[in-house]
Amino acid sequence: LCGDLLMQVPLPFSLLWLQVIKCKAAVMWEANKPFSIEEVEVAPPKAHEVRIKIVATGICRSDDHVVTGGLVMPFPIILGHEAAGVVESVGEGVTSIKPGDKVIPLFVPQCGECSSCLSPKGNLCSKNDIGSGAGLMPDGTTRFTCKGKAIHHFIGTSTFTEYTVVHESAVAKIDAAAPLEKVCLIGCGFSTGYGAAVQTAKVEPGSTCAVFGLGGVGLSVVMGCKAAGASRIIAVDINSDKFAKAKELGATDCVNPKDFKKPIHEVLIEMTGCGVDYSFEVIGRIETMTAALSCCQYNYGVSVMVGVPPAAQKITVDPMLLFTGRTWKGSIFGGWKSKDSVPKLVSDYMKKKFVLDPLITHTLPFTKINEGFDLLRTGK
**Domain range for 141:** 21-189+336-378
Q: Tell me which of 330, 345, 361 is where a domain ends.
A: 330
User: What's the CA gap between 374 and 54, in Å, rounded?
Assistant: 22
Q: Is residue 163 scored above 50 in pLDDT?
A: yes
Asked whether residue 129 falls in the same domain as residue 185, the answer is yes
Which SS3 state, helix, strand or coil, does residue 205 take? coil
Q: Is 341 a catalytic residue?
A: no
29 inside domain:
yes
Q: What is the largest CA-CA distance in the chain?
A: 95
Query: Could you tell me the end-to-end alpha-carbon distance of the chain, in angstroms, rounded to an integer?
Result: 63
Q: Is 188 a catalytic residue?
A: yes
User: What's the CA gap between 161 and 305, in Å, rounded?
Assistant: 30
Among candidates 153, 149, 160, 164, which has minimal Cα distance to 21? 164
Asked whether residue 160 falls in the same domain as residue 239, the answer is no
Asked whether residue 83 falls in the same domain as residue 129, the answer is yes
Catalytic one of 36, 65, 303, 338: 65
- pLDDT for 313 equals 84
Asked whether residue 174 falls in the same domain as residue 45, the answer is yes
Q: Is residue 1 scored above 70 in pLDDT?
A: no
Q: Is residue 14 scored above 80 in pLDDT?
A: no
DSSP state of 128: -
342 inside domain:
yes
Q: Is 81 a catalytic residue?
A: yes
Asked whether residue 33 falls in the same domain as residue 181, the answer is yes
- pLDDT for 184 equals 98
Catalytic one of 117, 184, 188, 296: 188
CB distance 373 to 380 below 8 Å:
no
Asked whether residue 37 falls in the same domain as residue 178, the answer is yes
- Domain total of the chain: 2
Asked whether residue 180 falls in the same domain as residue 251, the answer is no
Asked whether residue 40 falls in the same domain as residue 134, the answer is yes
Buried b / exposed e along 136-164 (16+ C-beta atoms within 10 A): bbbeeebbbebeeeebbbbbbbbbbbbbb
- Reported as a single tens digit per residue, the pLDDT across 207-226 is 999 999 999 999 999 999 99
Asked whether residue 227 falls in the same domain as residue 249, the answer is yes
9 inside domain:
no
CATH number reported for the structural domain that contains residue 322 in this entry: 3.40.50.720
Asked whether residue 49 falls in the same domain as residue 170, the answer is yes
User: What's the CA gap between 26 and 366, in Å, rounded?
Assistant: 8
Catalytic one of 81, 152, 167, 265: 81
Average pLDDT over all residues of the chain = 94
Phi-psi region for residue 7, left (φ > 0), alpha (ψ -120 to 50) or beta?
A: beta
- Reported as a single tens digit per residue, the pLDDT across 78-121 is 999 999 999 999 999 999 999 999 999 999 999 999 999 999 99
150 alpha carbon, distance to own chain's centre: 25
Lowest mean per-residue pLDDT among 1-15, 58-72, 97-111 = 1-15
- pLDDT for 364 equals 97
Q: Give the H or E element holding residue 165.
A: strand 163-167
Asked whether residue 227 falls in the same domain as residue 363, the answer is no
4 inside domain:
no
Distances (CA, A) of 217 to 60, 295, 368: 9, 20, 22
Asked whether residue 174 falls in the same domain as residue 253, the answer is no
